[in-house]
Structure 1
Amino acid sequence: MRGPNDLMYLLNRAERLLARHLSDILDAERCTPDAWRVLQVLADGKGHFMTGLSELAFLPPGSLTRLIDQLAEENLVYRRGDDVDRRRIRVHLAARGRRLHERVSQQMRSRIQSLEIDDHLVVLLGELVTALDPKDREARVRV
């Protein structure tokens, strides 16, 4: 059986290779990987506070703020005050952002299906994420 170092290496290598394999899809849509991760998180339709979005999109707060500013200028996302605490801001996917997300998601699903990856692998990776961070159970989004 492979050890934990092998698992970390394989996961990291697989992520990088898959990102490289899918990069032309994002490039064609003029969407960066960071922007894509933000759109992926926001696609759940719930709206997210910047703190949670930063964690789920793997971006430091300052970088996320600049990215959200840019995405808002492109009408891909919008900010709205929280219903409970108006001082807190939630970020939502705008209609244009939703269309971009749907278009890119469809292309990515097709590309990934062409790799003939066993669905069981996706289930196992989801279980690993949940085991490492139980709050990801709610946040997990599909490619």
Structure 2
Amino acid sequence: MVDSSWAAVGPRPDLDRFLREYGLTEAGLGDRLRTRPARSWIDGETFDDEYLVHDSVLRPQGEYPCAGDTQALAFCEEIADLIVSRYGSTRDAAVAVVNRQWSEAEPGERSPRVWIVGSDIVYHETPEYWAEFIVNRHSVS
């Protein structure tokens, strides 16, 4: 079992994209990289392992502490843009509420609460879904 100080990056193509973006190598990560069995499919190709990186490797992107790569940053920005355009929020309030959803931790817990990186499960829903969900869950001004 992998404890909460590890973030799932996904199968090999996601790891390769992550390594390029961060300017890292597998060898350079050493014991900060693990695998676990997890079957996935990308463009018809099957992968049997999921890669995980230690949280100490990750760095926040832009205004979103939870965004562990540029794909996650773009996803969070799209959600915030939708909150502004569809729900009349200010940009600052939209960024704050997206961060409330995934970045803010309870006292004594790790921050960000969630790392969005690689092929994260949040991508199973659309930005439109998340914008509505977040607005309905949190008060937005």
Relative to the length of structure 1, the TM-score reads: 0.27
Kindly indicate which of the two structures has a greater share of residues assigned to helix: 1
Relative to the length of structure 2, the TM-score reads: 0.27
Kindly indicate which of the two structures has a greater share of residues assigned to strand: 2
